[in-house]
Structure 1
Amino acid sequence: MLLTTAPGTLPRSTGAQILNLLLPHHRTTDQPQATAADAFPHQLRRINDFLRKDAPVVLTLPGFPCKSPNPAKTLGHLPDMGERLSLTFLDTLCAEIEKIHPPGAQVVICSDGHVFGDLIRVPDEHIDAYADELRAQIRESGLRRLTVFDLRDVLGDLPHDGKRAHVHDRYAPTLDALRAEVRTDAPTLALYRGITRFLVEDTAEFPGTRSALQRECRGRAYGVIQRSRAWGRLIADHHPRAVRLSIHPQPVGAAKFGIRLLDAPDVWTTPWHSVALRETDGRWTLMPHARARRLGRLVHRDGRPSHYQRA
């Protein structure tokens, strides 16, 4: 079950106030801690480093890779209302930080689609189109506190396969080390199972049996985790002082701070694996396309499918 950490009783320092703004959106499966200041020393230390320099607080968020290729989950391969709402939320969070720390804050969205493109079976041209449209949404909506960082910023015009090989070879853990970790570490095992489930669900067509698909996806899941670790290390090289956010649930006290972008019934649901449904009371919820289609009517924006409105 998704838990959101309560603000708790933090001292009234500026760094603690900023942490208090993040805490209501903390995505975790742990029980909330009584004293949040003691539970998040890593994040508080990083935030305070920026405050001492009177600099904008930089937060990095790996994610926003590309849309799931399964039409039962998404509306297509371009960002839609789910991404728009999530980007607006992140910019608004930075604006709230700016009220108590005038230099403000910036979220660097580390779009990782090309890192996994071959493993998640999404064409590189769809990933480019997704990232370009993400930048367009940010620009057109005036979300000045957000930027997008991807492999094109690191390795330029190198072919996509070459970029993936470079990142994997330089930063990824070995397969043997990762297999051993999955056997002995509960959070890594949960991550492995979650990614395997997503890979199975995202496969729209497969010529073999269901059990064969699951075996094939278990193998790809190891590769996804290797690349995820590699991407995280590359981000740390390029943004070494940043506060590290994650779209996945994270244990209390972890170096990564799990953050919930929008309401969803599952801790693994993201805007790129779902569509947005607007309820009759104005609330937004993420859900698979197939379910949203049963519950509401399709709404278009700028000539493209955008979201569903509850009927």
Structure 2
Amino acid sequence: MPLTTAPDTLPTTTATAILNLLLPHHRTTDQTRATAEAFPHQLRQITDFVRAGAPIVFTLPGFPCKSPNPAKVLGHLPDMGERLSLTFLDTLCTEIERIHPPGARMLICSDGHVFGDLIGVPDTRIDAYADELRTLIRQLGLHRLSVFDLRDVLGDLPHETKRAHVHKRYAPTLDALRDEIRTDAPTLALYRGITRFLVEDTADHEGTRSALQRACRKRAYGVIQRSRAWGELIADHHPHSVRLSIHPQPIGAPKFGIRLLDTPDVWTTPWHSTALHRTDGTWTLLTGAEAAVRGRLIHREGRPSHFAERRHDAGVTPEAGTTPATSLRQPQSRTLIV
């Protein structure tokens, strides 16, 4: 009888197993749970890496800088929220390595310089934040992670020049973006979410609330334009990478939204909040003001790091108007370096 060759199904099977590791951390507003087959873009990309016997490369735009609102964060440098998030990402790569021996690499595409002028954060603070991310990665031995920012692309050019270059080459037009916001529900949700963050992060506004909201709606367009431009630049420099996002993404979208930690909602990030270590050993993200009510401030290496919940506060229901605390439970197979 003639010899037959079985279909090369192993790469796809392995890619499905890898995608199944990501699915519990999918950041989305969709209420339904999906299987790996509902993510054809990611399944194809991961399969290509597996078939080539190469490490899977993930790119994650995010980790821009700390919020400029001192009521939300403990300072302008990374703290326990980033430490936990970076450790989670490195651990995820470790779990992938058990399925796919070449492993995985996570490229953190720090985007603070891309829109720092629109969010009111000085470029010197953005540099300090990104440099500290690199230091944390090195100190914690998270060798599967690395940081990529505009300095890696355009060197020591003035920051305004870099922003103008990226915007001109890659950003969508304002008219096109407005049309998309009017017709696409996920883009509208993103626009509203960014507007809300801009309003919350403006701590020194002296005018009316309505004037602030109008200004933030205008700036939100610019933030989305620049974010899109940054994404296109990343695609140019890392064309085969698996695209992750810290924003909620629909099931099956070209980008896979990922939760760095469990949070009270799908928008909260470590750089817009403060970590609270609860008495049961779990973590939650709150604004700094909310965390201060519930816990005592902990310092690491001479800097504010997080809050530790006071024993008598355990189980207290937050007052009306506060954000409910959601436990940040990491799977038992993961070791948190703290």
| TM-score of the aligned structures, taking structure 2 as reference length | 0.87
Aligned to 2:324: none
Q: Could you tell which deviates more after superposition, 222-231 or 258-267?
A: 258-267
Runs of 4+ that moved beyond 6 A: none
- By how many angstroms is 1:206 displaced? 1.0
Q: Distance in 1 between matches of 2:180 and 2:247?
A: 18
Counterpart of 1:222 in 2: which secondary structure? helix
Q: Give the structure 1 partner of residue 30 of structure 2.
A: 30
The 5 Å alignment of 1:14-93 reads 14-33=14-33, 36-93=35-92
Structure 2 segments unaligned to the other structure (5+ residues): 1-10, 311-338
Which residue identity does 1:210 align to in structure 2? R
Shift of 1:207: 2.1
AA of the residue aligned to 2:211: A
CA distance in 1, matches of 2:280, 2:16: 33
Aligned letter for 2:22?
Answer: L
Deviation at 1:38, TM superposition (A): 2.4
Q: Residues of 2 paired with 1:25 and 1:227: CA distance?
A: 26
Instruction: Compute the displacement of 1:258 (Å).
Output: 0.7
* Aligned residue identity for 1:251: P
Q: Is the 8 A contact 2:55 2:102 kept in 1?
A: yes
Aligned-partner SS, 1:28 = coil
Q: Give the CA deviation at 1:31.
A: 3.0
Q: Distance in 2 between matches of 1:85 and 1:287?
A: 15
Query: Could you say which residue in structure 2 is the equivalent of 1:130?
Result: 129
Report the CA distance between 1:286 and its aligned residue.
0.8
Distance (whole Å) between structure 2 residues aligned to residue 25 and residue 287 of structure 1: 19
* Rounded Cα–Cα distance in structure 1 between residues aligned with 2:61 and 2:137: 16
Does residue 196 of the first structure (1) align with residue 213 of the second (2)?
Answer: no
Distance 1:287 1:156, change over 3 A: same
2:153 aligned with 1:154 = yes
What does the per-residue CA deviation read over 1:19-62, in whole Å, with 9 as the maximum and x for residues that have no partner?
1111111111113345x132011101000110111000000000
Equivalent residue letter for 1:23: L
Overall identity of the aligned pairs, in %: 79
Q: Which runs of 5+ in 1 are unaligned?
A: 1-10
CA distance in 1, matches of 2:101, 2:49: 12
RMSD, aligned α-carbons: 1.1
Distance in 2 between the 1:172 and 1:27 partners? 24
Do the aligned partners of 2:12 and 2:47 also contact (CA within 8 Å) in 1?
no
Letter in 2 for 1:156: G
Q: What SS does the corresponding residue of 1:269 show, helix, strand or coil? A: coil
Match in the other structure for 2:285: 286
Alignment of 1:219-230 (within 5 A): 219-230=218-229
Question: Number of residue pairs matched?
Answer: 300
What code does the residue aligned with 1:28 have? T
Q: Residue in 1 aligned with 2:257?
A: 258
Decide which structure has the larger Cα Rg and report it.
Answer: 2
Q: Deviations over 1:68-107 (max 9, x none)?
A: 0001100000000000000000000000001111110000
Measured in 2, the distance between the counterparts of 1:29 and 1:193 equals 14
Cα distance, 1:133 vs structure 2: 0.2
Q: Shift in Å at residue 181 of structure 1?
A: 1.1
Q: Deviations over 1:211-268 (max 9, x none)?
A: 1000010100000000010000000001100110111111000011011111211111
Residue of structure 2 equivalent to 1:218: 217
Q: What SS is found at the alignment partner of 2:179? A: helix
- The verdict on how the C-alpha distance between 1:47 and 1:86 changes in structure 2, with shifts beyond 3 A counting, is same
For the residues of structure 1 that align with 2:28 and 2:180, how far apart are their CA atoms?
A: 21
Indicate how the Cα distance of structure 1 residues 152 and 302 shifts in structure 2: closer, same or farther if over 3 A, else same. same
Q: Partners of 1:268 and 1:33 in 2: how far apart?
A: 19
Deviates more, 1:259-268 or 1:217-226: 259-268
* One-letter amino acid matched to 2:213: Q
Deviation per CA, 1:143-168: give whole Å up to 9, x if none: 00000000000000000000000000
Question: What secondary structure does 1:108 align onto?
Answer: strand
Amino acid of the residue matched to residue 225 of structure 1?
Answer: I
Residue 14 of structure 2 aligns with an amino acid whose one-letter code is: T
- Deviation of 1:12 after TM superposition, in Å, equals 8.2
Residue 168 of structure 1: aligned partner: 167
Query: Could you tell me whether the CA contact under 8 Å between 1:33 and 1:39 is conserved in 2?
Result: no
Correspondence for 1:98: 97
- SS for the counterpart of 1:13 is helix
Q: Distance in 1 between matches of 2:55 and 2:69?
A: 39
The separation in 2 between residues aligned to 1:12 and 1:50, in whole angstroms, is 10
Q: Which string of whole-angstrom CA distances, capped at 9 and with x for unpartnered residues, describes residues 162-206 of structure 1?
A: 000000000000011111111111111111111011000000101
**Alpha-carbon contact 1:167-1:230 (below 8 Å) kept:** yes
Match of 1:307 in 2: 306
Separation in 2, partners of 1:220, 1:122: 14
Residues 1:118 and 2:132 are matched in the alignment: no
